[in-house]
Amino acid sequence: MDRKVPPPPQHQVFVNFRGDELRKNFISHLVEALQRNEINFFTDKQEKKGEDLSNLFKRIEESKIALAVFSKRYTESGWCLDELVKIKERADLGKLKVLPIFFNVTTENVKYLTEEFGSNLERHQSPHEQNKIGKWKEALACISYKLGCPFIDNNGFSSSTEREFIDSIVMNVLEMLQDISPAQTSKSVTNKHVERGEVSSKTTKSSKKALTVTKGNPASPANEYVGSNVFSVRSARRGDSTSMTKNSKPLEPSKKDLSAGELRLSHVLDFSETRPTYNGYPIRFGNPESVGRGDPSSVTKKF
């Protein structure tokens, strides 16, 4: 292979093929090429002996890519066709990518069920098989219309050797795996953050309204309190309730969250207590020259 591709992600590649026809020749060579390129694949030979064949459907569900290897005797096997129906179902759900491979059959043979490929399908005459014919044909039509890898053209001629053909299949699989990788990685990272409570997929309108930013010196961070009970420190001192969420109770800011100037103000202006009075008259802090400075020395009494 001329091009070098980074080691692929270990998503499983399921190989669907007619075993009696291809296992000891074409598939054995394909398997060797997949192994050389460190591709995680699965064939029925890897299933444990004594296991139910329906477990192969689970292997399809575990896979991200399926190779459907169409050959002249492919449609002899009802089991191959059942696997193809499952592959189509997963592809329709967007959970599986399919690469059709046309080995010694033309794309037209498969699409239009012609020649030996089509005649072998007609041999399924049992009542049980007849009930499946419709789904089998639908799956064959759907998968064969996907862009795939034909070994011979519609005239029956091949422009490459079998080894070159297998190399091109492997290259296509590697590229498909790389395309799958970013989406899977992003989803995996997001799920981990959600499990740790770091990411929320839903933001309520009230929580959006609760986010407030106070104006001040850009060099120092604004005092913000994020949550269901939120208020702005400065807005609260002005008696401004627009920055509070509906039905929420204001939270008293911690002194460590206040600047030095705000600590002086919070010491003098304590809204948690009743405003001090003298003989029934309220005490006013500050004179016209020092209003807003919080200078205790300018305290005057109003009589």
**Which one of the listed residues 83, 108, 164, 175 is annotated catalytic?**
83
Q: Is the pLDDT confidence value at 291 over 50?
A: no
Q: Is the pLDDT confidence value at 271 over 50?
A: no
- Residues 170 and 30: their CA atoms lie apart, in Å, by 8
Q: Can you give the pLDDT at residue 55?
A: 86
Q: Is the pLDDT confidence value at 302 over 70?
A: no
pLDDT tens for each residue of 251-269: 455 555 555 555 444 444 4
Query: Which one is predicted more confidently, 218 or 26?
Result: 26
- Residues 260 and 220: their CA atoms lie apart, in Å, by 12
Q: Is the pLDDT confidence value at 297 over 70?
A: no
pLDDT tens for each residue of 151-170: 999 888 998 999 999 999 99
Q: Is the pLDDT confidence value at 26 over 70?
A: yes
Q: Is the pLDDT confidence value at 288 over 50?
A: no
The pLDDT-based confidence of 4 (bands split at 50, 70, 90) is: low
- Mean pLDDT is lowest, of 21-30, 118-127, 173-182, for 173-182
The pLDDT-based confidence of 44 (bands split at 50, 70, 90) is: confident
Q: How many H-runs (helices) and E-runs (strands) does the chain carry?
A: 12, 7
> Tell me, what amino acid is at 143?
I
- Mean pLDDT is lowest, of 42-51, 97-106, 111-120, 168-177, for 42-51
Query: Which one is predicted more confidently, 104 or 244?
Result: 104
pLDDT tens for each residue of 68-95: 999 999 999 999 999 999 999 999 999 9
- Residues 99 and 15: their CA atoms lie apart, in Å, by 10
Told to judge if 129 belongs to the known catalytic residues of this protein, a careful annotator would answer: no
Q: Can you give the pLDDT at residue 46?
A: 79
Task: Give the contacts of 109 (CB within 8 A, at least 6 positions apart).
Answer: 70, 102, 115, 116, 117, 118
pLDDT tens for each residue of 209-224: 433 444 444 444 444 4
